[in-house]
Amino acid sequence: MNTLVYIDHFKGEALPASWEAVWVGKTLGKVTGLVFGSGLEALTKTAFEYGVDEILLADDASLADYRAEVYASTLKQIFADRGCDMLLFPTTSRGRELAAMAAIDLNTGVLVDAIALEASGDKLIVTRPIYSGKVLAKVTCALKPQIVTLRGRAFPKPAPQPGKSGPVTKVAAGAGALTAVEGYATAEGVISLTDANVIVSGGRGLSENPSLQPPAGLDAKQTEVWRAQQGFGMLKEMAGVLGGAVGASRAAVDSGFVPYAMQVGQTGKLVSPNVYFACGISGAIQHLAGMRSSKLIIAINKDPEAPIFKVARYGVVGDLFQIIPALTAAFKKRLGK
Amino acid sequence: MKLVACVKTTPDTTATVKVENGKATWGDAPLVINPWDEYAVEAALQLKEANGGTVTAISVGGEDARIALKHALAMGADDALLISDPALAAVDPQAVARILTAAIQKLGGVDLAFFGRQAIDDDSGTTPAQTARLLGWAALTLVSVIKVDGGSLRVERAIEEGRQIVTAKLPAVISLVKDIGEPRYPSFIGIRKASKAEIPTWSLSQVGIPVPSAVVEQLALMDAPVREVVCELVTGGNPQEIAEHLADKILGEKLL
């Protein structure tokens, strides 16, 4: 099996799901890594350490920023020159888009967001969640090459082998740009929810701390938002101690407490961290759909009937404004922070 | 500007979806416009209000597709178009992209085609990019802010690392995320207008393309495995004691 794996990165920093895709590729045989961008020597070195056997490097100023059309054209040319049986992408924003375009360019189909793979003859059968994970579908594509995107954190990340190296072949950048990138507004120092090992999420309940004294001069809505911000600040502190990210329920986002980028759920981010804390989140189906595949779920809620307790391994029925600071302190003590 | 919003009908987000006789079912949960597509309609209406023009909602599907189209009309879309054909029973998202492409070409003169980022039933999220590729238009996916200035576009895209600011020329395909702004509720007058609207229906031969074959074959559907968890309630005499017990249990799982 001749497998190409797209190594998704931002400014030379690979997304972890790229290495998981390499792991999947290795289970099928030889892996050729596709590295597109500009000034990517360090990334190619890392890719070999994660198990890539050879690299096709399109290193060109025109590829410095990800742009769908030129990246897709680069890929199309590589396929025309070398062919392949299998094309793997991590299911990232770029990976999903490129895979979709590659299916059109290479006259085949795309199987999106695989969480499991099985071989059947020379075809792969992919298991993918649909209806936000309420249902699993087994799908396949009879056309070649087979294009599959792999959900992050659904497959193991290979252990890097320091010093491992391999051949790098330069390939030309594609043409056909339709966009220009003006710049980035980057969320600074924030751990991406989809990559996080630990997520501490809050719901509407975060605005209900009775012991807070809001500053004077705020109207009712501003007071509520101010209260919620204090509540989310508390979650941020615990997430900081655990090296995790802060998420939110749709109710908290719709109430204007936190930005949409933090929303976990069917119409937000789908996450699967090792540990998920649901604080003041009742557990609507909408929310459960986005976090049910977390390895360990902990629910803290004052309502013992809240549906979140049905999916949680550990639960605390109580006042989260007392429990969370105490829990943060307990983690600090145990983790030596 | 000639604006198109591509919409789909899906079960409501609160639906309990189960597999029965090999098919996904959702009991008596209501069918609604795909929640992401409401943002597509909203974005199109905002642009129309700012720059003038028309908004046409398009859906590919059976009779149920009218639900999404009527919602778009009730929100304020000028007209709607249903593409329906008995041959569509087994289409996949890629075939839908081919049909939408042909329909947009046949409508002619379209400046922007809007999509939700993905449909909450199939969750593929590939149709916007594929439609753009087939049309040869810029694919501006996961967009949170749109500015149009003459024939130029400037958008912000929500990516893993934050926002990517991108410029392009019209025509283009745009898929939306929630930050574009809360979709408006249909007005009473809008709902009345939508309920009376005669929605034109095109067959595939009227669209002018042969039946696209599905490239993805669905072999089986399964209920998601039920999480076999029994919730252990952690208790103690005071919050500190509860927290100490809970921290020990969590660290004992060796996942941190």
Provide the residue-wise pLDDT of chain B in tens; the chain has 256 residues: 999 999 999 999 889 999 999 999 999 999 999 999 999 999 999 999 999 999 999 999 999 999 999 999 999 999 999 999 998 887 899 999 999 999 999 999 999 999 999 999 999 999 999 999 999 999 999 999 999 999 999 999 999 888 999 999 999 999 999 889 889 999 999 999 999 999 999 999 999 999 888 899 999 999 988 777 889 999 999 999 999 999 999 999 999 8
E strand segments, B54-137: 54-60, 79-83, 112-116
Tell me A132's DSSP state: G
Q: Is residue B116 part of a domain?
A: yes
CB interface of B with A, residues 210-239, below 8 Å: 215-224, 227, 229, 231-235, 239
CA–CA separation, A246 vs B213, rounded Å? 43
**Residue at B192 is within a domain:** yes
- Residue A246 carries which DSSP code? E
Q: What is the pTM of this model?
A: 0.90
In a domain, B17, yes or no: yes
Every domain of chain A with CATH number 3.40.50.620 lies at 2-170
Q: What is the CATH number of the domain that holds B181?
A: 3.40.50.620
Task: Could you list the beta-strand ranges (E) of A142-282.
Answer: 146-150, 168-170, 179-186, 198-202, 245-248, 275-279
Number of domains present in the structure of chain B: 1
What is the residue range of B117's domain?
2-207
Residues 52-81 of B with CB under 8 A from A: none
Closest of B243, B145, B98 to residue A300, by C-alpha: B243
CA gap A152, A196 in Å, rounded: 11
Domain with CATH 3.40.50.1220 in chain A: 198-335
Per the CB < 8 A criterion, the answer to whether A321 and A211 are in contact is yes
Q: Is residue B162 part of a domain?
A: yes
**Token pair for residue B40?**
């597509």
For residue B212, being part of any structural domain is answered with: no
Judge whether B133 is closer than 8 Å to chain A, CB to CB: yes
Instruction: Determine, for residues A104 and B97 on separate chains, whether the beta-carbon distance falls below 8 Å.
Output: yes
* Interface check A80 vs B, CB under 8 A: no
Residue B184 lies in a domain: yes
Partner-chain residue, chosen from A104, A284, A327, that has the shortest CB–CB distance to B246: A327
DSSP one-letter code for A107: T
In this structure, which CATH number among 3.40.50.720, 3.40.50.620, 3.40.50.300, 3.40.50.1010 belongs to the domain A2-170? 3.40.50.620
Would B243 be classed as within a structural domain? no
Residue of B126, B251, B253 to mutate, interface with A, max A Cβ within 10 Å? B126
Cross-chain CB nearest to A311 (options B137, B142, B227): B227
Question: Is the CB of residue A337 less than 8 Å away from at least one CB of chain B?
Answer: no
Measuring CA to CA, how many Å separate B241 from each of A234, A329, B32, B247? 19, 11, 47, 10
Peptide bond into B171 cis (omega under 30): yes
Q: Do A260 and B179 touch (CB under 8 A)?
A: yes
Taking the C-alpha atoms of residue A331 and residue A329, their distance in angstroms, rounded to an integer, is 5
CATH number for region A198-335: 3.40.50.1220
What count of CB pairs under 8 Å joins A to B? 264
Number of separate helices (H) and strands (E) present in chain B: 7, 15
8 Å CB contact of B224 and A135: yes
**Nearest in space to A209 (alpha carbons), one of A278, A270, A279, A160:** A279
The bridge status of strand A9-10 relative to strand A13-14 is antiparallel
- Cis-peptide into A145, omega within 30 deg: yes
